[in-house]
Chain A
């Protein structure tokens, strides 16, 4: 960290928050709030005289509130840059620090927060994680029993630079504990709090146990665990070493901790799974390995940076396996636990990868983006035709890439567009198209697929990232599903225009599947929500038309759910099999005029007319070929 601060090309802005991020890859405009430190950075030499003079003592957050700090302080002795600040919430304005600072005159009570705007090429987010508060778990008595501490508190007590200079003591009587219990998975792997595994707690429980045992071989340590997870290189060896050192491991999650009110010793009640018997053992001190959770302001940061969040609240990566350091927004990268709990080696690896990705942008004159971006025909936009832009495209865009200025037609900021197609499908004037997924292209495909016996076919709209992957998996896994399925790929369920669905039924399709990602998996942040809203609207329309239940179906299928894809298609086939051909034919013919009515503007979309002529020829060719056979 000191090296980084000394590097002339690295500018460390401590005590600064990101207020606003605008612009796009290579051209971000970032507004920073440089908070008032009340100490002038250019004059402070880090001598610490102000801290010595300050009479105010408040709990030190860095020491997990186990020790005090002054109101004139640095967060920790290794702080970079080493510039003191005055905690104005607790300052009593005695100005002793000003006297102590003397001729340096570094203390400046007139400072105010400063808003600074910077031109930024790429952003790396490394906001880390927070800790689960175990006091909500009544059974472990944290915050009620003084000798139950968290792993982070242990980290400070055990640290030679910590409040006790590395002497482990019990909070109740300052005695050195002889017997300790460590409890893993406190609040993690627990459906009531955080269902996921926090990844690194097994290792740091073992690390703390080994450190304590090295310091004092007489100490007796038992680690209570559900499973010990030591999958990385050298980790299992470390675990074995801990066992050989005499650290006890007891499989079984404790259900209760009780306290002896006089000695403040603790009794841990747990089943020893190996024995199948309940053990009640007394310890001097208990450490809880609490779950890693997202930062409390993670939601706020996610909206400032415009990046999505995975289930559990962590920032969502572009691709879990292939691009784990990229955010879905170009030019924003993740490093470390803000993207999901991870240990130090993984955080370092991800950080280095993110830095390498970011430097690609800084070294490029031009930046390649996905070719499937949206394009506006300004003369069709309602701003031109009706004098007022409807703004539906702005609402649909998850990236803020659509701009409407005054009474001018909508404009797409191409560098920001990721090509979900939400605006294209939402536009009531059909004034926007998506390159490579134009209405005409999709229409031609659809007409070709439904050329022969459309009433037997099930047209399945799949999104590129999830349900297409699910269909692919169903195929590669040899899951059998109906041969009447005809798949159509678009980038996102947001692109599945209601016109396509109407047109499919107008052409006489037996069934239509509207499928995409699960809402939390959407690769276009909120694209799926745009699609889902439209799909449920369509469902209502078809219900009002009295269409047979199940002919139009909405399903969210992930790339891992090949079995679900196959099942859904087979169920749709069952629906079709249960309608007699005559009834189905009658229903299709009855609904055709309704569909045509809703499609009356569709042929006016540029390119669609030509596509119709072209696909008509194609359809004729296919049918005549079939007849010839």
Chain B
């Protein structure tokens, strides 16, 4: 018997995406929330259980507005703790994917590529834990048709691994921890250690 009404609800959309399959299994025990590192860092509005609930109840706009959609770094601490074996970061990624498709922009700063210096080696595509970078053939001013890296802002979490990997310093998260800033921090930290020793 097919109960399909022909209308795909938001919950159906989430469940149709890989990772979102087991959304309805959640019985709201809250284990994921108390396991979450982002919640522990003081982001009180961050709550994976509530995001799953919003998705289940088809509250699409509320889900898009919820910081959980955008801040999950897919560390999967909650996945191993979940008694219902729901891949929670998978559900969150599914919600985010739909949000980006519907024109929402992530509030976090995502990586950008300097197309003038990118050599298209592809190292960053391999290093990205979120598969947010791909190599594309495109027309770049002054350089013609060449292969360069391109970041999908919907998938990028702004972790900066690409920036660390890049051999030509062509990719990075702007205004957040530039190479020089990190080196300065490291330098002062090491001096601090020397004093302590």
- Chain A residues within CB distance 8 Å of chain B: 139, 185, 189-192, 226-227, 251-256, 269-273, 276-278, 474, 477, 479-480, 562-563, 566-567
Contacts and interface: CB of A to CB of B under 8 A. Distances in A.
Contact of A276 (B1, B31, B47): B47
Interface string B115-152: 00000000000000000000000000000000000000
B50 interface: yes
B33 A278 contact: yes
B80 to A, nearest CB: 9
Interface centre among A185, A190, A227 (most CB of B within 10 A): A190
Contacts of B47: 271, 276
- Among B28, B29, B32, chain A packs the most CB atoms within 10 A around the CB of B29
B125 to A, nearest CB: 34
Contacts of A255: 31-32, 34-35, 81
A271 B1 contact: no
A199 to B, nearest CB: 16
A474 to B, nearest CB: 8
Given A256-B35, A271-B49, A278-B40, 14 more contacts: A191-B83, A191-B84, A251-B30, A254-B34, A255-B31, A255-B32, A255-B35, A270-B31, A270-B34, A273-B30, A276-B33, A477-B1, A479-B1, A567-B1
A271 B78 CA distance: 13
B83 A189 contact: yes
Looking at A251, A252, A255, A479, the one whose CB has the most chain B CB atoms below 10 A away is A255
A477 to B, nearest CB: 7
Contacts, number: 66
A252 B1 contact: no
Contacts of B83: 185, 189-192, 253
Count chain A CB atoms within 10 A of each CB in B2, B34, B39 and give the residue with the most. Answer: B34
Interface centre among A226, A272, A477 (most CB of B within 10 A): A226
B195 interface: no
21 contacts: A189-B83, A191-B84, A191-B85, A227-B27, A251-B30, A253-B30, A254-B31, A255-B34, A256-B34, A270-B30, A271-B33, A272-B30, A273-B28, A273-B30, A276-B47, A278-B33, A278-B34, A477-B1, A562-B1, A563-B1, A567-B2
A480 B1 contact: yes
B27 A252 contact: no
A352 to B, nearest CB: 35
Across the A-B interface, the 9 shortest Cβ-Cβ residue pairs: A271-B30, A479-B1, A253-B29, A271-B33, A190-B83, A252-B30, A255-B35, A255-B34, A226-B29
Contacts of A191: 83-85
B50 A269 contact: no
B16 to A, nearest CB: 19
A226 to B, nearest CB: 4
B159 to A, nearest CB: 24
Nearest to B83: A190
